Amino acid sequence: MIDKRRIKIGQKYRHFKGNEYLVLHLAKHSETLEELVVYQALYGEMGIWVRPLEMFLEQVEAEGQLINRFEEL
């Protein structure tokens, strides 16, 4: 459930597809004020990404089961 999960700045998370990321900041969209997670890939070119907080914390279906899109390590 999204309400019970909190993002931790500086914490590593694993995406359900297997890659690991480091949460750098929480930000707000300048026009909508939607909360965004700013995170960095811990592989390849170490790219910086943003994703809506709600999406970061949501569950997705994988192999017939609901699992967290990102799981804290």
> In the prediction, which pLDDT does 4 show?
64
| pLDDT 10s digits, 16-72 | 999 999 999 999 999 999 999 999 999 999 999 999 999 999 999 988 999 999 999
pTM: 0.87
**Domains delineated in the chain:** 2-72 (2.30.30.320)
Whether 21 and 8 have beta carbons less than 8 Å apart is answered as no
Query: Residue 62 region, left (φ>0) first, then alpha (ψ -120 to 50), else beta?
Result: beta
